[in-house]
Structure 1
């Protein structure tokens, strides 16, 4: 099946959303048990962590951890936002830099100024969007970023989105309450799909959509460790407690360039393979044998592939043993943890 299809459904009583591109699962979101990224708390500083420059905080959903604290004393109250999913048994990662994010607009209370996504290069369109931004944010001290999907979008829809996020930001920042409390909950999978999957697509909302559009079949592969590569090779992706190990296998290819071909295929496939599995943290690639002169080309291919990915990923580089390491934001629920 050609084209893009967004399917909104439930699986094992959990809300989930799937993006199919040309009949292949390209992205998958599922609700977990932990508070989702974007959740905002009024938290209380609990105790500092010596040597790490961080502070444990108290929230209604358990302990949270805030990095790079300065001048914060135990007992003080502050607003924080969940940035990702914690490993089992660890504190919720949070930040004090709040973002109020929607389909068209991101309101940034700690970063004033009106900005338009750099991917929108048409000057007339940028002027149109800045005019809308000035009209809606004229009386606000908050900052604003207009996202790339604003290009060509209806002015009323953009203005409504800006106004909604600005009002939410003001409501949260002016909240008069005391004590640990959840002030806003992060987006659900269906809301995230509407917010982030903005390219034109067919939308399927009928119950049973995952079965009729082959999402369940695709998830069977996602819950396994094997990911096929073009040319007959495979990736073997195995999460451990410490890291995610990725082994590149050339399969039946016995040519002299088999390792190089499998590794470059890995670079193109890896972002999607990690994305649909919801994997993050430290990732170590055990690549197939290839000449050192090809490493620069492999890095360039890997960097280009992750540039279009939705989760922030840092390419850490090569180890003395010839492995390649990545550090990826834990912005998703690991699918294998919630779908048994």
Structure 2
């Protein structure tokens, strides 16, 4: 499998595309006016404690107050304190050092924790955790144990009692003692700087900010099998080159500056794929298709055979469509960054073996996903429930806003429906006020319908109310807007 990372940098926006075998798999977008804040550490102030929810609101200097649950507040003073009532942990007005685990989404504020951590290329450092963990993505048991042993020896050179915790990241697979020792020292220096700011700064304030997106890409997305990292900004290329020289010398040869006149995302077809990812319908090669709907509570994916009629029988057609859909929807979840609860409506399969194979195909396809996922079995109705960890906004929420015309419904009242609303409004106006002439202001579509399909009904209405009705097109009106004016 060949993998490339494309980085498009402008003064207002940075975009990163992960392309596998020529197909776009993931997109990350960061805008200078609204940078993501996951990983940032803040000095905050508790503004409200909610005992009924076992949660609290914390002011960290953002537009909306942030949210912390009792389970995310570390209490190390007594056994069982982790599950204690939130009122025994914090109080209103208290200063609290917190880290963001989820960006603000929609109307919800950021999600916080007091279990602080900072990351390097190979490690996540967790002060006070006294634990060494290994990424579940490293599945070779011998390698997991080797890494654990090497890190423990390295850490105990500076911290004999192992008071702090570390997690070995996926990128640590195959690295040696020298690389891990360098990362440990870097994290210790970084944390010392964070502690100095924690003692000095008042609330609300930023204590520590994570790296910008193009630098985080080097730290988080570079993995074995990566062929090229192409960057279209000379300044960013130089900064990334320096970062690689200091921390990732083995990937220096894979960095490439792209100076072409044609935009890098156009050259690789990324722009077209992003536009497709904003639509509801995803075409399958067989002729089937997916319908993806995103709501605040969950996302749903419906699979249909469409134009695919198969070659043998109906059950075989359904099975092949579901298999193709399993691979396609796994890619769409990564590309659109859909998180939370996801309901997948596979086409009903009678054969239990077919259901098992489709579920296995979905699980295999999701193994490439770096977000944590959990999948249930296929129900008798063909439904699969799954969850995918959500830490940032979906692609749709980053790039789009609610439609001003339909207010998020995804549909408009038909011209016929609006015509009948106009008739009812005319009747209300004529009963309340005496007038021989009325003027209806409406959109072009509605006026056309009133003068054409509904002309006979308009004539009957004029006779019934004893007044003439005129129509005027208002170009700025939406299809659902209208006014009835007495003349």
Superposition TM-score tier, normalisation by shorter sequence: 0.7 to 0.9
Q: Kindly state the Cα deviation for residue 284 of structure 1 after the two structures are TM-superposed.
A: 1.9
| SS of aligned partner of 1:83 | strand
Partner of 1:205: 231
Bigger RCO (CA 8 Å, 6+ sep):
1
Question: What CA distance in whole angstroms lies between the structure 2 residues aligned with 1:204 and 1:27?
Answer: 15
Structure with greater proportional strand content: 1
The 5-angstrom pairing of residues 146-295 of structure 1 reads: 146-153=168-175, 155-174=177-196, 175-176=198-199, 177-197=201-221, 198-199=223-224, 200-207=226-233, 208-255=263-310, 256=314, 257-291=316-350, 293=352, 294-295=354-355
Partner of 1:73: 91
Structure with greater proportional helix content: 2
Say whether the 8 Å CA contact 2:133–2:148 is kept in structure 1: no
Structure 1 residues 188-209: Cα deviation after superposition (integer angstroms, max 9, x where no partner): 3213321222223201112432
Say whether the 8 Å CA contact 1:64–1:94 is kept in structure 2: yes
**Cα RMSD (Å) of the superposition?**
2.9
CA 1:135/1:331 → structure 2, altered by over 3 Å: closer, same or farther? same
The gaps in structure 1 that reach 5 residues or longer are: none
Q: Kindly state the Cα deviation for residue 12 of structure 1 after the two structures are TM-superposed.
A: 8.9
Partner of 1:314: 374
TM-score, length-scaled by structure 1: 0.87
Say whether the 8 Å CA contact 1:38–1:82 is kept in structure 2: yes
The gaps in structure 2 that reach 5 residues or longer are: 72-85, 234-262, 401-487
TM-score, length-scaled by structure 2: 0.62
| SS of aligned partner of 2:102 | coil
Q: Kindly state the Cα deviation for residue 126 of structure 1 after the two structures are TM-superposed.
A: 5.5
CA 1:260/1:329 → structure 2, altered by over 3 Å: closer, same or farther? same
Say whether the 8 Å CA contact 2:156–2:162 is kept in structure 1: no
Question: What CA distance in whole angstroms lies between the structure 1 residues aligned with 2:188 and 2:22?
Answer: 38
More displaced stretch, 11-20 vs 110-119: 110-119
Larger Rg: 2
Question: What CA distance in whole angstroms lies between the structure 2 residues aligned with 1:138 and 1:260?
Answer: 58
Question: What CA distance in whole angstroms lies between the structure 1 residues aligned with 2:101 and 2:40?
Answer: 8
Partner of 2:387: 327
Partner of 1:26: 25
Question: What CA distance in whole angstroms lies between the structure 1 residues aligned with 2:17 and 2:202?
Answer: 39
How many equivalent residue pairs? 339
